[in-house]
Amino acid sequence: MPMINLFYFRKSALKTLCSTLCCWMLINYANAQIKEQGIIPQPFKVEKTKAVFNFTPSTSISLGEGIDINNLIFFNQYFQSLSGYQLKVNKKATINLNIDSTKVTQPEGYILWVTAKQISITGHDQAGVFYGLQSLVQLLHKANGKITVQGTAIEDHPRFAYRGMHLDVSRHFFKVEAIKKWIDLLALYKINTFHWHLTDDQGWRIEIKKYPLLQGISAYRDETIIGHKKDSPHRFDGKRYGGYYTQEEVKAVVKYAMERHINIIPEIEMPGHALAALAAYPQLGCTGGPYKTATYWGIFDDVYCAGNEETFTFLQNVLDEVLPLFPSKYIHIGGDECPKTKWKACPKCQQRIKDEHLKDEHELQSYFIGRMEKYLNNKGRQIIGWDEILEGGLAPGATVMSWTGEEGGIAATKQHHNAIMTPEKYVYLDYYQSLYPSEQLAGGGYTPLSKVYNYEPITQELSGDEAKYIKGVQANAWSEYMASPTQAERQLFPRMLALAEIAWTAKENKSYPNFLKRLRYEQPLLKILNINAANTFDEITDQVTESADRQVQLNLMSTLPGGQIYYTTNSTVPGLKSKKYNKYIIVTASGKIKAAVFNGAKQYGRVYEKSFDVDKAIGKNVTLTNQPQGGYNPGNTFGLVNGVFGSKLYNDGQWYGFNGDDLEAVVDLGSVQKISQLGINILKYHWQKMWEPQLLTFETSADGKTYTEVYRQTAFNDNGINEVRANITPVQARYIKVKGINKGIIPPGEYIAGAKAWLMVDELIVN
Ligand code: TNX
């Protein structure tokens, strides 16, 4: 690859460069505060010089052959907000934009060169020039009313061709203005794909002229659930909610995005998540309805009927109107979370299974997707679907969007299909970013900034050849708990910037501490752009581990520069006179630990707190007959006896979850002791498939062979945490056995009936 001189440096120099990069660019926005500045996502190669380029109102810009004027318009928007004036086009200018694909060989790549006299941006293509300008925006420095850029040489190109952000506008509707602001931000951080989730159970958001009831009925719901879906009974606000984009608006948004080198992939969900459409056209469902646009979140049994020809006619007609609006080669057709309950009982679906010689309802789903794929292929488009489209066989040219984990994506590449990685565990931005109780309501889960940042899309399971089918990475913004753009921004920023860096930055150039530095420098720009970004990422986080001598060890961490943590163990508010945290805290008594991080005398962020309950079982040996599953502690038992109770958000890593299986745990106290109380916490959230056990028993034993039942319970009345505390006639015992019989299959009439119930427990208590 041809390189400009400045880039002939050794690897070690590159390293030093990366770590010093952020210490040199100075920025001073309107608030007259001097701030350093770096680029997010981190470019491929960067070098600084001592030169300084000064902007004046007569500074002009020249557009090389074929350079789109939009590049300039976009840059000038930012530039004017900083300087009060715009750059004019002039053939003999000091800022030169050019396209040269021989000089810059990588698609979307660019070289940005700033000397005292000149700024030059050479792009491989139009997008490359555009991205060079985005980097320049982040380098602009304002001091004493003057705009400058420090001398620099950047050579840059993306790691992945697909750099996606998704936004769900069904659960909550975002107006065109909000979408445009969103697109500007994607562009600034070099994200090139906007996955627009336009239809779902709670609202249909795109105008389809042939089906006016999609606008009249499907775009609206009677009311919206208040609070979290797991709360029971559900409460509603009683207010009609909805809206949709007209085709004219969609066209304008697509054009706006294209000018910013963003491709919009529309998603029209099928065969599941279809309730809003069924509300208007009930004949497309298996039972014929009546149906109502959903007023709460989740998965619904009523889906498009796969045996009814009219379903396909409807969807094809819908796509016939969608395709002309979106030039995207890829069209997303959903495919996720489609319960098969109604298909099993539907004569038309069963007939289709027979006629098409399908094995079961999973193959029927595959038939559905395959048929729609064929339709779209004939129109020159390719399909993308969520990883469930692998069930019952993948449609021939489909790209898999791997969300339930990375397995779907890996499976697709093994079949030589393209895949996009978007695993919920790492890149779902509707999940909590912090475990502090005052955090804004979110979907569940826990994807802090560091976890998003450290996600690596090319996992070890992918051999060199298969890795090339991973086209890129995407983060998702499901909007159940993002009712307004302000709330959405609090969820998406700064984690979206971490996504941008996963997608763009070369793996070897990634460094979380360095990213955080640049992110801190980015704060003034985020403010100028009027983004409600969370800036809590330097707050204290923790880890509860087992010390070498099996005690409970609390480890506190903060990434605050110069941060020192102080803590108390008596529930008082920590200050500079409290105990200084050093390495770790060994917890030996019940109580609440509070901690705060300070830089000098200045406290940063919220006060951390954690309660411990120290009893006879702490740190003792636990044996489990069945292993917990999923994200709920498979392969370890210490969390059951670490003195920390799982919270109502069940995202803190404390809960042990058994999917359809029973709980059977034995605690070995190490010696025979007098026992008078046994306890356990059980999580009951039927709206999350978490069910209380049919039966819970405690047994005790002195020798580990003969057990005597000392307690049993069959009713667990509270939605949420049920604290079982059994005061028993004192016995002498060494072993405690606790058994919980799983509810098994979720009964008819309940949420996700027919699925396996989760039995969720935490902390075995012995006193
Ligand atoms: C799963 S991700 C869904 C969405 C929800 C989301 C909430 C996917 C393909 N389906 O319908 O909004 O979980 O996190």
Per-residue pLDDT of 99-125, as tens digits, reads 999 999 999 999 999 999 999 999 999
Measured in whole angstroms, the distance separating CA 346 from the mean position of its chain's CA atoms is 36
Lookup: tokens for 505 = 């930055």
Q: Measured from the CA of 480, which atom of ligand 1 is nearest?
A: 12
* Beta strand ranges found along 600-753 (DSSP E): 602-612, 621-624, 656-659, 663-684, 695-701, 708-713, 720-741
Residue 386, ligand 1, Cβ within 6 A: yes
Q: Is 481's C-beta closer than 6 angstroms to any atom of ligand 1?
A: no
Query: Is pLDDT of 591 > 50?
Result: yes
Range in 21-30, 58-67, 412-421, 654-663 the model is least confident about: 21-30
Whether 137 has a pLDDT exceeding 70, the answer reads yes
**Predicted confidence (pLDDT) at residue 23 exceeds the cutoff of 80:** no
pLDDT tens, residue by residue, 629-678: 998 998 899 999 999 999 999 999 999 999 999 999 999 999 999 999 99
Q: Is the pLDDT of residue 711 over 60?
A: yes
Looking at residue 42, the DSSP 8-state letter turns out to be P
Closest-CA residue to 447 (of 482, 480, 423): 423
Question: Which of 336, 427, 651 has the most ligand 1 atoms within 8 A of CB, as the residue to mutate?
Answer: 336
Q: What is the pLDDT of residue 528?
A: 86
- The pLDDT assigned to 373 comes to 97
pLDDT of residue 392: 83
CA of 299, closest atom in ligand 1: 11
State whether the beta carbon of 300 lies less than 6 angstroms from ligand 1. Answer: no
**Mean pLDDT, residues 594-616:** 97
pLDDT given for residue 524 in this prediction: 85
Looking at per-residue pLDDT, the higher value among 14 and 294 belongs to 294
pLDDT computed for residue 36 by the predictor: 53
b/e 706-742 (16+ beta carbons within 10 angstroms → b): ebeebbebeebeebebbebebeeeebebbbbbbbbeb
pLDDT at residue 10 is higher than 60: no
The verdict on the CB of residue 403 being under 6 Å from ligand 1 is yes
| Cα 739 to Cα 167: distance, rounded to the nearest angstrom | 43
One-letter amino acid of 102: T
Nearest atom within ligand 1 for CA of residue 445: 14
CB 387 less than 6 A from any atom of ligand 1: no
CA of 428, closest atom in ligand 1: 14
Report the distance separating Cα 230 and Cα 720, nearest Å: 8
- Ligand 1: centre distance to CA 428 (Å): 9
Token pair for 717: 């009345």
Distance CA 376, CA 392 (A): 20
Of 166, 337, 687, 688, which is best to mutate to test ligand 1, by the most ligand atoms within 8 angstroms of its C-beta?
A: 337
Which of the 8 DSSP states describes residue 94?
S
423, with CB counted inside 10 A (0-12, 13-18, 19+), is buried
Beta partners for residue 738, in sequence order: 665, 698
pLDDT tens readout for residues 176-218: 999 999 999 999 999 999 999 999 999 999 999 999 999 999 9
Provide the whole-model pTM.
0.93
pLDDT of residue 331: 98
Query: In DSSP terms, which residues pair with 153 in a beta bridge?
Result: 47, 113
pLDDT of residue 37: 66
Strand partners, 599: 563, 602
Domains and CATH numbers, the chain: 11-156 (3.30.379.10), 165-172+195-233+264-483 (3.20.20.80), 541-612 (2.60.40), 621-766 (2.60.120.260)
**Token pair of 207 as six digits:** 């105008």
Tell me what pLDDT residue 91 has. 87
Q: Which atom of ligand 1 is nearest to the CA of 479?
A: 12
Residue 4, pLDDT above cutoff 60: no
Asked if the model's pLDDT at residue 82 lies above 80, the reply is yes
**Where is pLDDT greater, at 313 or 4?**
313
pLDDT one-digit tens code per residue, 55-70: 999 999 999 999 999 8
What is the Å distance from ligand 1's center to 70 Cα? Answer: 35
Mean pLDDT for the chain overall: 93
In tens, the pLDDT along 490-513 reads 999 999 999 999 999 999 999 999
User: Is the pLDDT score of 232 beyond 90?
Assistant: yes
Ligand 1, atom 6, lies closest to the CA of: 478
Expressed in angstroms and rounded, the spacing between residue 91 Cα and the centre of ligand 1 is 51
The alpha carbon of 444 and the centre of ligand 1 are apart by a number of angstroms equal to: 11
Provide the H-helix boundaries in 262-302: 275-280
Strands (E), 583-687: 585-587, 591-599, 602-612, 621-624, 656-659, 663-684
Range of lowest pLDDT (12-21, 476-485, 549-558, 589-598): 12-21
Centroid of ligand 1 to alpha carbon of 478 (angstroms):
7
Whether 327 has a pLDDT exceeding 60, the answer reads yes
> Rounded CA gap, 488 and 481, in Å?
8
Average pLDDT over residues 344-372: 97
Q: Following CA atoms 213, 219, 220, 225 in sequence, which dihedral angle do they give, to the nearest 10 degrees?
A: 140
Find the DSSP H helices in 164-285. 176-188, 212-213, 247-259, 275-280
Indicate if ligand 1 lies below 6 Å from the C-beta of 75: no
Nearest protein Cα to ligand 1, atom 12? 478
Do 140 and 152 touch, CB atoms closer than 8 A? Answer: no
* Catalytic residue list: 200, 273, 337
The confidence score (pLDDT) of residue 81 equals 87
